[in-house]
Structure formats: structure tokens, C-alpha cells
Amino acid sequence: MVDGRAAAILHWYASHARDLPWRKPDAGPWAVLVSEIMLQQTPVSRVLPAYAAWLERWPTPAALAAAAPADAVRQWGRLGYPRRALRLHASARAITERHGGEVPGSLEALRALPGVGSYTAAAVASFAFGQRHAVLDTNVRRVLARLVRGDLRPPPNPTAMEVRLAESLLPVEPGLAPRWSVAVMELGALICTADRPRCPDCPVVSECAWHRAGRPVDDPHRARRRSQGYAGTDRQCRGRLLALLRESDGPVPAARLDAAWADADQCARSLASLVADGLAERLPGGSYILPR
Ligand code: ADE
């Protein structure tokens, strides 16, 4: 039996779910893996076109494995956190070499792939293989913190207690756990949002511990970390340098990169970090190029 809360959330999901391509029954494990890596740090609206273009170009792990890392970084474009492109490329090679070109279904084998952590492994095993695992992304963690524990926000880092709680709520009916996980995720994305929860539209508002407690706000001593702005950061500088490398067919002279950013120290530091991350290579003459 599915409990009342689970039934209400599943019922809500049936009529409110967004029609996202990686949720279609024919998406397949490779498409699901690509989507989850892209969605780790990028909103759905920006992932949609990048996901379609990626799979059009590389419909299988073997197709991506045959490409150069530079192609993956170029195709990643402006999606942000571009090390993910290198890791996805390395995963495609590992899948081709170790798993005969098929994305593995076990949590352990998934976790062994570059860039695949506990969350992504559980998401792929659930959504692509129909297995029963707790899938704890930030949306799910927030919904459970409010609904069950009465807290506005989950702890800063995932805890073993959260995993146990999420596992205890998974429906036992074969095949239903992945649908429950994606439904909770969707509730967090559309209704139980971080800053403006739409409680009147929530299917489980009457059972929500946080709502029942009068929707307490943050303890001021535990004020939420505001995310760092983008303008002027090393991240922005790295993005600008990487864009110059992506847009060039050949090596880019250091002087052209230096000219792209006013603060010379920050520019040098950012360039060095791109090289350290494997996103750029320094050639003997002092010019730079995407990884080959
Ligand atoms: N559907 C499946 N996984 C998802 C994710 N990580 N974000 C949004 N929708 C999803």
C-alpha cells in the first residue's frame, strides 16, 4: 500500500509533471546519464537545448568515446562548470572499455564512473533501470525537510539520517519508487521552492510538518549562505578564457587571453586553474589550446 502522502504526491504528479525529454520511457540509460550530469548544476531551461544537441551528436557512449575531449568541451558550450564535459567524456570511454558500451545498472559500477556521485548513481539506477533507491537531490531534500521534519531547509550537506528517511518513504510496489522520487523532485521544483513555496497549491499541505508549525523562517544565526555573485569572479574569468579557446580552431596566443580580462593576476590564476583541471593545455610556444 502506498501511504496517503505518497498517493497525494503521485496523484499531483500525474497531472502537473513537466514533459521533459529525459523522463520519456524511450530515453534510455545514456540519455538519462547525460541529463543528470547536465542537471547537476544547471537549470532545466538551459539544459533542454544542450541535451538535445549532445544526444543528436553522440547518441551512444561509444560515439562520444571516439571524439576528442576538446569536442566535448566545445559542445558543452556555455552550460557552466565545464569539467562536467571532460568527466562525461571520460565516462563514455570507461563505459565503452569496461562495460561493452552499455551504461551499467549497478550503483557501484555507476559510482565508479568519473563525475558520478551518490546522487547521480541513484538517479540513473532509478530512472533508467527502475531500481528502488533514495534519490536525494536538493529539491527532494528540501521537500522532506519541510514535510516530515518541519524544517525550512535541509542541513547544508546530505546526512545519513536524510538517506534513511528517504529510503523509509520509498514505495515498496515494484517499479513505483522511481516515479515517487521524480514526483517529489517535481514538487520541490514547482511548488515547494526554496524561496517562495506555493503552499496553497501543494497536494500535501495538510500533512506538512513545516506548514503545521506556522512556516517558521530561518534561524537568523543560521542564515542561508547566499550564493556568490558571478560578475568579477574567477568563474567568470575562466568562462571568458574558455570561450576564446572554444571559438578558436587552433592555439590561442597567451597575449590574446591576457587581453580578455583586466585584472592580470586573476587572469593568470584562472588560466592556470583551467590547465590544472585539464580544460586547457599550454603548448611549448606559450599559446593555449583545448585538451586533445
Ligand atoms: N527528472 C529526472 N531527473 C531530474 C532532475 N535531476 N531534474 C529535473 N528533472 C528531472
Which of the listed residues 16, 18, 19, 20 should we mutate to test ligand 1's pocket, taking the one with most ligand atoms within 8 A of CB? 20
CATH number assigned to the domain comprising residue 87: 1.10.340.30
Give me the tens of pLDDT residue by residue for the chain, a chain 292 residues long. Answer: 568 889 999 999 999 999 999 999 999 999 999 999 999 999 999 999 999 999 999 999 999 999 999 999 999 999 999 999 999 999 999 999 999 999 999 999 999 999 999 999 999 999 999 999 999 999 999 999 999 999 999 999 989 999 999 999 999 997 899 999 999 999 999 999 999 999 999 999 999 999 999 999 876 555 555 566 888 899 999 999 999 999 998 999 999 999 999 999 999 999 999 999 999 999 999 999 999 9
Q: Is 23 in the pocket of ligand 1 (CB under 6 A)?
A: yes
Q: Which residues are catalytic?
A: 36
Q: Is 39 in the pocket of ligand 1 (CB under 6 A)?
A: yes
* Domain contains 270: yes
Residue type, 247: E
Confidence (pLDDT) at 3: 83
Domain final position from 127, 153, 188: 127
pLDDT per residue over 17-33, tens digit each? Answer: 999 999 999 999 999 99
Which of the listed residues 44, 48, 139, 192 should we mutate to test ligand 1's pocket, taking the one with most ligand atoms within 8 A of CB? 44
Reported in sequence order, the residue ranges of 154-286 that DSSP labels E, i.e. its strands, are 281-282
Q: Is 36 in the pocket of ligand 1 (CB under 6 A)?
A: yes
* Domain contains 182: no
Domain final position from 76, 92, 127: 127
Confidence (pLDDT) at 64: 98
pTM, 2 dp = 0.91
Helix (H, G, I), strand (E, B) or coil at 282: strand
Q: Which atom of ligand 1 is nearest to the CA of 127?
A: 2
CB 9 within 8 A of CB 171: no
* Domain contains 243: yes
Q: Which atom of ligand 1 is nearest to the CA of 18?
A: 9
* Domain contains 111: yes
* Domain contains 178: no
Q: Is 139 in the pocket of ligand 1 (CB under 6 A)?
A: no
Side-chain half-sphere CA neighbours of 76 within 13 A: 30
- The domain in which residue 265 lies consists of 234-289
Domain count, the chain: 2
Q: Is 20 in the pocket of ligand 1 (CB under 6 A)?
A: yes
User: DSSP character for 224?
Assistant: P
Confidence (pLDDT) at 218: 73
Mean pLDDT for the chain? 94
Phi, psi for residue 274 in degrees, rounded to 5: -60, -40
Q: Please work out, in degrees rounded to the nearest 5, the angle formed at the alpha carbon of residue 172 by the alpha carbons of 169 and 176.
A: 90
In Å, how far from its chain's centre is CA 138? 10
Q: Is 71 in the pocket of ligand 1 (CB under 6 A)?
A: no
* Domain contains 94: yes
CATH number assigned to the domain comprising residue 270: 1.10.10.10
Helix (H, G, I), strand (E, B) or coil at 288: strand
Domain final position from 74, 93, 127: 127
* Domain contains 57: yes
* Domain contains 177: no
Q: How far is the CA of 24 from the centre of ligand 1 (A)?
A: 12
Q: How far is the CA of 189 from the centre of ligand 1 (A)?
A: 9
